[in-house]
Amino acid sequence: MSTDVAVKKVSVTIDDKKVEVTPDKTVFQAAVEAGIFVPHYCYHPDLSIAGVCRMCLVEVDNAPKLQISCNTPVRDGMVVRTSSDKARQAQKGSLELHLINHPVDCPICDKAGECKLQDFYREFGLYKSRVELEDKVHKPKAKDIGTIVLDAERCILCTRCTRFTHEVTHTDELVIVNRGNRSELKTYDDGPLRNDYTGNLADICPVGALTARDFRFQQRVWFLEKKNSVCTMCARGCNTTVSVNPKTKKLYRVEPRRNPEVNKSWICDTGRWRYHYVYGESRLRTPEKISDGRVLESTWHQAFGEMKRALEDPSGIVIGLSTQLTNEEILELVLSFKESGVKHFVRIVDEQVIEERSPWDGVLKHRDHTPNAEGFARMFSMMNTKFLDCAGLAALVGEGNLRHAWFFGLEGEDVSWASRFVEALPEGVSLTLHATSRLPIWERAQWLLPAASAFEKSGTMVNALGRLQRLQAAIPRVSLARDGHAVAFGVQRGADRDAAPEARHVDLFEKLIAAPLLGREQVWKKLDPMGVALKERS
Amino acid sequence: MPALAKEKQILLRHIDTPNLSQISVYEEVGGYQAAKKAYGMEPANIIEDVKASGLRGRGGAGFPTGMKWGFVPQNTGKPIYLLCNADESEPGCFKDRVIIEKNPHAIIEGILIAARAINSHKSYIYIRGEYAKGARILQMAIDEAYQRGFLGKNILGTGFDLDLVLHRGAGAYICGEETGLISSLEGKKGQPKLKPPFPAVSGYLGCPTVVNNVETLSTLPWILAHGGKTYATYGTEKSAGTRLFCLSGWVNKPGVYELELGTPLRVLIDELGGGLKDGATLKAVIPGGSSTPPLTPAEVAEATLDFECMAKYGSFLGAGGVIVIPEHVSLLKILETISEFYWDESCGQCTPCREGTGWLFRILKHLHEGRGTSTDIEDLKKTAGNMMGTTICALADAAAMPVLGFLKKFPDEFYAALREREGQ
C-alpha cells in the first residue's frame, strides 16, 4: 500500500559512493541503486533471499566478519566495501569453490556466453585450477524433465529454481536431494515439470544446469541481438526481448524483460515458445484466392483491386478487426474505411472470456488470448465509433444487405475463438481474411491475405492492466505478409504499390494517439520501454 | 586440590543415586523444589538471577543464557517456544547423554524454569536419533512429570500451562545447530536458516524461540535453589560455574567429569583421567570437540579449562569434548577422519562449506594415502581460509578450524608426509 508520508531515508556509503535509500532495503539493493555491481548467484530480485552462494560477501563498517549483502539490512551511516582486498578475496574464494566440481563443458553448453560462472571467472577469478579432473563429483547429465533439460553436474545449487517452483508457480517440482557435495537438483519423483512457466527456469539458472529444449544447440548466444518488445499471446502484455540473428534475420527465442508492474521477471511458456507459427507450415506467405474449393496463389495487386471495386458500394461491407491488432492499425483501418463510407465494424475477440470476472491464472496469464482488447475499446471511444459484437454481426446479417466481410489481423494458429464470427456469415457473403496462418476454420473464405505477425510489426497496445506498451518489429516481414497499415494504404489505392510509409505507426501514435491516451505529447522513440499506466477508461 | 573439592557439586551431585531417573527418587533428593520456587517468582526476576549467575550456553557457542532469554519479545501475540537441544553430535562429546539417561528430571525441571522465565507454554526436546535409550528414558520422565502435575495445565496451581514434547531427530549433525534444529522440527530439510531474523524474534514456525542446551537447562535448578550469585562464585570471572567435560582418547579413565571452570587441564587428564594409557607420551589435546583447534603438550601443561584461556591458545571449550592424543597416533589420520566427518555432515546449502569440506577431505585423504603433492598444504590453508566466517552457520568454521589449527601447531607432521612421498 502506498502512502503519501515520505519514508525517512538512510544514508549508506558504498565504495566511497554515498547513496540515500529507504530503510527497508538491503545492502545489495542499496548497491544496485548506487550503480555498483556485487557478484551473486542465488540472489534474484523476484525471489526470496536464500543467502547460500556466498558470492556477495562485503565488508561492513570494517567488521572482521564479512556479511552477505543480500541479507544485510541497511543502517544509517553504514560504510560498505564491496571490492576491498578482503571482500574480493572472499568472492574469489567462493567462486573457486563453485567451480571445483563444475564440469567446465562450456564448448557444448548452451549457456556459454551468458553464464555467470564464465562472467565472474573473467571478472573475479582468473586463477589456475587446483583440482584434478578425475577428482570431481559426478552427477547425471542431460536429464529430460519436459520442456527443460537438467544437467545436475553443471548445477551450482543456488536454489533459484526450487524457489521459483515453490514461490511463483507453487508447484514444487524441483527439489535438492542429499546433502553436502552430494546434493543434487532433481524433479520430485523424477517426474516432468508440470507448470506453465517452465521456460523461466532456464532464464534464472545462472549456469547451464537448466536449459530450454527449444533453444538447445540452436544458436550461440553471442550471435544474437535482442530487441525490446511485448508479448502478444494474452492480455497481460508481458515485457519481452526477442533474440534475432542479425545475419539470418531469424528469430530464435523470446525471453522476459523485467517489469515489476507487469510480469516481474517472468513469462509463460505460451508467450515464450508459441512464436514458431511465424515460420510454421501453415504460415500464409502470399495472397490466396479460393474459388470452388480451389486455392489459387494470387497477388496483393489483384486483392486490393477487388476490394477497391467492392468499396464502390460501402453499405454492403462489414469490417472485422481482431483485438490482436495494434492501436495504430485499428485507428488507421477504421479511419480509412470510414472515409470510404463503411459503417459497420465488428470487434473480433474471445467473447467467452472477455467478460470473465477472474480472468487471471494466479501467476501471469490472462484468459483472453488477444493482447489488445483494452486498446481496441479505447481507440473506438477516441474515434466516437461504435463496434458490433458477434450477436450484432448476426443481426446485421439478418438485415440482408451484407455482401462482403473483411476480417483483419487474425494472428496465430490458436484462434478457434474467432470461428464463431466466421460461422455467423451466410454463404452469400464473401469473406476476406487477413491472417498469419492458413487454418481449417478459415476454409469458407474467398480471400486469404498474409498478415504480418506481432514480431514483424511495430505499434502500441494497451494491456488488461490499462498499461500502454510498445511493440517493436524484430524480424522482417515473412514473404508477402503485410501489417494493417500497408493493407489500409493498398485498399485505398486499389493497387499494390508497396509505397506505404515505413514508420506509419510512429506518425499515427505521435499525432493521434499519444495526447488523448496520455494527456500529453509523447515522442514514439522516448516512450518508456516499461510502458505507461493509463488512467482508467470512463 | 581445591578444584577436586568442587567436582560433582552441581550437575552430577546425585548422579550415582540409584534410580534417579524416577520422579520419586528425584524428588527425594530435592528435585522440583527449584521449579516450585521459580513459579513463585516474577519471570523478570528469574532472568535477573540467571544473568547474575554468569551462566553461558553449554552447547558450544557459550552465549550468556540470561541475555538470550532477554531478547525474546513478549508483545508479538505469537506463541513463544522453548526448544531443548539434545542433538549432541559433536565427535568427542557425550555429556548430555549422561544427563539424559541418568537425570532426565533435571532437564524437565530446567525447562519448567526457563519456560516460566520467557513465558513459553510449548516446549520441545529435540533429541538425536541415535540416542534411542535416552529417548525412552526421557519419555518416561516426561510422562511422570505430567502425572505429577509438573507439566500440562495449571502447573503447581499457578495457572501456568506448559506442554513438553519429545522429538527424535534423524541423525544429522547439522540439526544440532539451533536454526537447523528449528528447520528439522518444522518438518523441513535440516538446514540452518539465514540470520537475521534471529530465532528469538522469528524462530520455530516464525515465532519467538529460545534454544537451550541440555546441560544449560539442567544447571538452572541449582542456580534457582542457591541463587545466581552463589553460582557465580564458582569458576572464573568470565567463565562462571562448573561444566561437564567428556574425557576420551588415550587415557586410563575416560568419562564425563564435572569440574569448576578454570581448573587446570592437567587435573582432568592426569588426576581424574588417571593419565595416559601405558605411560604414553602426550602429543596433543583437542579441548572442546572435533571442531576445536588442538593444544600442544606445552599448552596443555599451562592450560586451564575456561573460555579465556582457550581463546589465548586459539581454541575453544566448545561442548567440552576433551580428546587426548598420544605420541604414536598420526595427526594426519585424525585430521582426515575429522574432515571426513564434516564433509559427510555438511548440509550443502552454502557453497564454501559444501565444496570446501569435500576439498579438504580429498586433499587430506591424498596426503594420508601418500598421494600428496607439494601444493597440498598451501591448498589446505587457502581452502580452509576461504571457509572461515563465510557461511550461514558455523559448520564450515568447524571443518576449517581443526585443519588450520593442526597445520599451525603441528606443521612438521604434515610436511613429513610430503617428504616421505618425495623420498620414494
Measure Cα distances from A12 to A114, B176, B352 in Å.
31, 37, 28
Contact A50 B194 (CB under 8 A): yes
Contact B357 A101 (CB under 8 A): no
More confident residue, B61 or B227: B227
Q: Is the dihedral angle over the CA atoms B52, B58, B64, B66 positive or is it negative? A: negative
Averaged pLDDT, B118-127: 98
Which of B196, B343, B382 has the CB atom closest to A180's CB atom? B343
CATH 1.20.120.1630 fits A287-533, yes or no: no
Specify the amino acid at residue B276: L
Residues in chain A with CB shorter than 8 Å from the CB of B351 are 52-55, 94, 97-98, 156-157
Chain A: which residues have CB within 8 Å of chain B? 49-55, 57, 64-66, 71, 73, 89-90, 93-94, 96-98, 100-101, 130-131, 135, 137, 156-157, 159, 176, 178-183
How far is B349 from chain A, CA to nearest CA, in Å?
6
More confident residue, B183 or A500: B183
Q: Which residues are bridge partners to B251 per DSSP?
A: B276
Model-level pTM greater than 0.90?
Answer: yes
Asked if residues B285 and B254 have their Cβ atoms less than 8 Å apart, the reply is no
Contact B196 A73 (CB under 8 A): yes
Contact B355 A181 (CB under 8 A): yes
Full strand arrangement of the beta sheet holding B81-86: B152-155, B160-168, B122-127, B81-86, B209-213
What is the C-alpha separation between B144 and B162, in angstroms, rounded? Answer: 14
Nearest Cα residue in chain A from B194: A51
Residues in chain A with CB shorter than 8 Å from the CB of B352 are 54, 93-94, 97
Contact B391 A54 (CB under 8 A): yes
More confident residue, A127 or A441: A441
How far is A66 from chain B, CA to nearest CA, in Å?
7
Domain definitions of chain A by residue range: 10-98, 133-278, 287-533
What is the C-alpha separation between A291 and A298, in angstroms, rounded? Answer: 12
Q: Say how many residues make up chain B.
A: 424
Specify the amino acid at residue B339: S
How far is B208 from chain A, CA to nearest CA, in Å?
20
What is the C-alpha separation between A140 and A178, in angstroms, rounded? Answer: 14
Averaged pLDDT, A268-273: 96
**Which residue segments constitute the domains of chain B, with CATH numbers given?**
2-232 (3.40.50.11540), 242-326 (3.10.20.600), 331-423 (1.20.1440.230)
What is the DSSP track for B36-66? Answer: HHHTTS-HHHHHHHHHHHT-B-SSSS--BHH
To probe the interface with B, which of A41, A47, A74, A130 has the most B CB atoms within 10 Å?
A: A130
Q: Which residues are bridge partners to A391 per DSSP?
A: none
How far is B197 from chain A, CA to nearest CA, in Å?
10
Contact A183 B348 (CB under 8 A): yes
Nearest Cα residue in chain A from B345: A180
The DSSP bridge pattern shows strands A148-150 and A67-68 to be unpaired
Instruction: Answer yes or no: same fold for A10-98 and A133-278.
Output: no
Cell numbers at B55, concatenated: 551462566
Which of A54, A94, A180 has the CB atom closest to B358's CB atom? A180
Helices (H), B278-345: 297-302, 307-312, 331-345
Residues in chain B with CB shorter than 8 Å from the CB of A101 are 355, 358
Contact B386 A181 (CB under 8 A): no
What contacts B28, CB < 8 A, 6 or more positions away?
Answer: none
Asked if residues B371 and B337 have their Cβ atoms less than 8 Å apart, the reply is no
pLDDT score at A66: 94
| CA trace torsion B369, B373, B375, B377 (10° rounding) | 20
pLDDT score at B9: 83
pLDDT score at B421: 64
pLDDT tens, A277-315? 999 999 999 999 998 889 999 999 999 999 999 999 999
Taking 80 as the threshold, does the pLDDT of residue A183 lie above it? yes
- Cβ atoms within 10 A of the Cβ of A429, count? 17
Contact B386 A66 (CB under 8 A): no
What is the C-alpha separation between A299 and A301, in angstroms, rounded? Answer: 5
How far is A51 from chain B, CA to nearest CA, in Å?
7
Contact B389 A135 (CB under 8 A): no
User: Distance from first CA to last CA of chain A, Å, rounded?
Assistant: 24
Q: Which residues are bridge partners to A533 per DSSP?
A: A467
Pick the closest to residue A131 from A170, A174, A98 (CA basis): A98
The DSSP bridge pattern shows strands B81-86 and B122-127 to be parallel
Pick the closest to residue A370 from A464, A242, A448, A437 (CA basis): A464
Angle among Cα B333, B337, B342 to the nearest 5 degrees reads 145
**What's the whole-number average pLDDT of chain A?**
93
Asked if residues A155 and A207 have their Cβ atoms less than 8 Å apart, the reply is yes
Contact A71 B348 (CB under 8 A): no
Taking 70 as the threshold, does the pLDDT of residue B8 lie above it? no
Contact A49 B194 (CB under 8 A): yes
Taking 70 as the threshold, does the pLDDT of residue B3 lie above it? no
To probe the interface with A, which of B184, B201, B354 has the most A CB atoms within 10 Å?
A: B354
Which of A65, A97, A183 has the CB atom closest to B386's CB atom? A97
Contact A66 B389 (CB under 8 A): yes
Contact B349 A52 (CB under 8 A): yes
Taking 60 as the threshold, does the pLDDT of residue B5 lie above it? no
- Please report, rounded to a whole number, the percentage of residues in chain B having pLDDT higher than 70: 97
Asked if residues A437 and A412 have their Cβ atoms less than 8 Å apart, the reply is yes
Residues in chain B with CB shorter than 8 Å from the CB of A179 are 172, 174, 345-348
Contact B390 A100 (CB under 8 A): no
Contact A181 B343 (CB under 8 A): yes
- Please report, rounded to a whole number, the percentage of residues in chain A having pLDDT higher than 70: 97
Averaged pLDDT, A94-103: 91
Measure Cα distances from B55 to A203, B66, B117, B223, B320 in Å.
52, 7, 15, 9, 15
Contact A94 B390 (CB under 8 A): yes
Contact A51 B343 (CB under 8 A): no
What is the C-alpha separation between A249 and A246, in angstroms, rounded? Answer: 5
Taking 60 as the threshold, does the pLDDT of residue A373 lie above it? yes
Cell numbers at A529, concatenated: 520501454
Q: Return phi, psi of residue B362, to 5°.
A: -60, -45
Q: How many CB pairs under 8 A join A and B?
A: 92
pLDDT score at A75: 95
Taking 60 as the threshold, does the pLDDT of residue B203 lie above it? yes
- Cβ atoms within 10 A of the Cβ of A293, count? 6
pLDDT tens, B295-343? 999 999 999 999 999 999 999 999 999 999 999 999 999 999 999 999 9
pLDDT tens, A137-163? 889 999 999 999 999 999 999 999 999
- Residues B415-419: contacts with CB within 8 Å, 24+ apart? B415/B377, B417/B332, B417/B367, B417/B368, B417/B370, B417/B372, B418/B367, B418/B372, B418/B374, B418/B376, B418/B377
B304 Rama class: left (phi>0) / alpha (psi -120 to 50) / beta: beta
pLDDT tens, A198-257? 999 999 999 999 999 999 999 999 999 999 999 999 999 999 999 999 999 999 999 999
3-state secondary structure A57-101: EEEECCCCCCEEHHHCECCCCCEEECCCHHHHHHHHHHHHHHHCC
Taking 80 as the threshold, does the pLDDT of residue A135 lie above it? no
CATH number of A10-98: 3.40.630.30, 3.40.50.720, 3.30.559.10, 3.10.20.740?
Answer: 3.10.20.740
How far is B342 from chain A, CA to nearest CA, in Å?
9
Which of A94, A96, A180 has the CB atom closest to B357's CB atom? A180
Taking 50 as the threshold, does the pLDDT of residue A2 lie above it? no
Q: Which residues are bridge partners to B240 per DSSP?
A: B235
How far is B61 from chain A, CA to nearest CA, in Å?
16
Q: B418: pLDDT confidence band, cut at 50, 70 and 90? A: confident
What is the C-alpha separation between B414 and A366, in angstroms, rounded? Answer: 66
Residues in chain B with CB shorter than 8 Å from the CB of A75 are none
Taking 60 as the threshold, does the pLDDT of residue B1 lie above it? no
Q: Please tell me whether residue B154 adopts helix, strand or coil conformation.
A: strand
Averaged pLDDT, B74-80: 96
Angle among Cα B203, B207, B213 to the nearest 5 degrees reads 45
CATH classification code of A133-278: 3.30.70.20
